[in-house]
Every structure is written in structure tokens, then in C-alpha cells.
Amino acid sequence: MTGQIVITGAGIVSAIGNNMAETVRSLCSEKTGVGILRHLNTTHKEFPVGEVKMSDDDMKRLLHISDEPTTRTALMGMLAIKEALEAASLSEREGLSIALVSGTTVGGMDKSEQYYLDYLGNDSRNEYIKAHDCGATTEMMADYFGGFSLVTSISTACSSAANAIIMGANLIRGGIVDMAVVGGAECLTKFHLNGFNSLMILDHEQCKPFDACRAGLNLGEGASFIVMETAESAQKRGAHVMAVLSGYGNASDAYHQTASSDQGDGAYLSMQKALNMAGLQPEDIDYINAHGTGTPNNDMSESQALLRVFGEHMPLVSSTKGMTGHTTSASGAVETTICLMALQHGIVPVNYGWKTPMENGIIPSMSVKAENPLRHIMCNSFGFGGNDSSLIISRYDHEQ
């Protein structure tokens, strides 16, 4: 087992910014990216979404990609990984054993939706059909950069990216790789939109996590990746340490295919595991970035789990999905990176859209500035089937 796992780079693309700097500005100005759907070709324009404000061609130009088959998920992932590698001073990676672990569920479905109908009659587009699955998207990102010694994908619905972070940390702790680039990417698709619509959990208006009048979620898209390594590795490279991944936990309540249990058993267990690994007490957590989807089931279940764990020591809590939309499989990484920004800039993102307290629920934060320096932040990501993950990132003590 190795020592402390630290974060030395991060990159993000979402509805509220195409990079870290833009995202911080949006968080500080309480700006939502949820709005009218523009890039996805669907008749369902009635649902607000958190769409990335770039077309596929815009992203290709930024990445200097011309004719190679690519998917929207992969393009967003490439942009986020590029920013993360640059922040971690990893433009040169020769001699390092680095894993790429990406969480996604949609994968390359955006292109297979467009081209599968003429699959047999027009084989000039069949390369896009082959890029449908999750692994193909991760391989596209790996091939663009090169130099990864291990490449793999995780698909556990909305906890995918959080579980990619956990897997990366375990690979480093186990001595399998020196470093890990971990996170997730997910684009909007018709299957995506129609699937959540069939579950009747999409809000026709701006979503309102933890609000008594909440009616569902707003789907989003985006990508985020972080670079992790041991503190010893970072010191040796002279890399700037952004934070410590001090604890994490994964659990399952196995209650239902999509719903969470009334008491939030899986969420309770994942949070307790993360606290135990970090060696922290509930009162040590300064802020929680909640899963907070805006659905009646999730927000009540998560509230109960939070109350069970934190009780009278409830820290500041907010869901940022009112600004980014629910980026599904990428959400664990998107929100972990937002937590990094909160730690670095001393901000507590507002719970956008919230107005009315829900019965027996938590009261979310509506203040951007933290009153005291943030030391420990918890980030929750909960997936269908009760696959629940919690991460804790902490301020780095340079004296250690």
C-alpha cells in the first residue's frame, strides 16, 4: 500500500463552463447553464437541459481533429483530460505508468443513433456504429493522447465517474500504476432523454433539488477528469497539489432497479465508509456536494441518509445540478472538480432553484462564500440499482 493519494490536476467541460476558470466564474456568479436544448436533434424541446455550449465541430477545432471518427462524449472527455494533464504538468509522460479510467454509460450512442438506420446500406459510416460502446469512447480518448499503460471503463450509471476515481486510487494504492487520470464523460442523446422521460422524472422547468415543489431533474452533459498520484510522486515531480483524496466508500442498498430506499441505506453506508477511511468524524466535514437530483425519491432518500450520518452536525450542503444539469455518468467527476474549486476558492456553491423547505428534508446552502476555510468536503454520487459512492477531498498539509 502506498501513502497519501493527492490530486495534482483537473479539467472540466459542462454547461457552466468549458474549463476550470469559466466554471469558477459561473459558480461565484450563481449562473445556471440549464436552458433550451440546441445541439441534440430531438422533438423533445420542452425539457430544459444543461448542454455544453459547443458543437462537435467547435470541439474538433479546439482539439485539431479533422476526419477521424469521434463521438461527442469522447470530444468532451479529450478537452477535460487535456486541461487536467496541463494543470498536472504532464505534457511529457515518458517513463511513468499512468492509468486512464473513465466512467460513462451513453458512450458513443449519439453517433449510432444517427447512423444505425442505414447501417447496411451505407457502410461509410459504420466506424461510428463500432464506436457505440463505453469502451470505444475511452479508447478514443486514450489514443488521442497516447502514453497510458492501462485503459479501462466503468459503467455504474450515475456513480460511474465516482467509481472511476475510486478504482484509480486503488490502482495507485496497490502499486499497479504510478498515476491515474480518472473521471467521466457523458453526452446527451435521444435514448438518454427519452429514457428518463419514460421514467417520468424529468422536470419541464428549472429543477429544484431538495425543494418541496421539486418535480424531477434536468439532464445535462459534460466531462471532467482529475490526475491522482501519491504525495511522494507529486513532491518528486515538483507538482502543485490541489487536494488530498482522503476517503471513499461504495455501497449498495439493492432496493430497486431505479429508486433509492426510503431510509437511504446505500447512501448511509457509502458515507460512513468514506468517513472511516479518512479517519474523520461527521463534524469534521465542512461541505457536502449532494447527489441532489431534484426527483422526489432521491432528495428524500438522500436527506434521510444525511440526517442519519450527520444529525445535529449537518454541514453546509448543496446540489450543483441546478446549474450543470444532471450529467449522469460524468456527474461524480464534474462535482468532484467543483468541490476542488470550492476547497481552493473558499466557496460553497448555491443550491440553484431552491425556495421552499421540504418536509423532513435538509435545508441546502444558498451562500456562495464560506464563512470559514474549508478543510474537508464530501461528494455524493448515487446510481440506479443503489450503487452509491461517496468521496472525501481534503486540504493538503504541505508539512506532511
Which active-site residues does the annotation give? 158, 291, 326
CB atoms within 10 A of CB 375: 15
- Alpha carbon distance 98, 369 (integer Å): 36
* Four-residue CA torsion sign, 221, 242, 382, 323: negative
- As a whole number of Å, the CA-based R_g of the chain is 20
DSSP 8: E
Sheet with 98-103: strands ordered across:
150-154, 98-103, 179-186, 222-230, 5-13, 243-252, 387-394, 376-383, 287-289, 316-318
Q: What span, in angstroms and rounded, lies between the C-alpha atoms of 173 and 23?
A: 31
Task: Determine the length of the chain.
Answer: 400
Is the C-alpha dihedral spanning 268, 242, 347, 354 positive or negative? negative
HEC sequence for 85-137: HHHCCCCCCCCCCEEEEEECCCCCHHHHHHHHHHCCCCHHHHHHHHCCCHHHH
* CA–CA gap between residue 114 and residue 304 (Å, rounded): 42
Angstrom distance (rounded) from CA 177 to CA 98? 6
Strands 287-289 and 376-383: parallel
**Rounded distance between C-alpha atoms, residue 178 and residue 152, angstroms:** 16
- Residue 330 is given by DSSP the state G
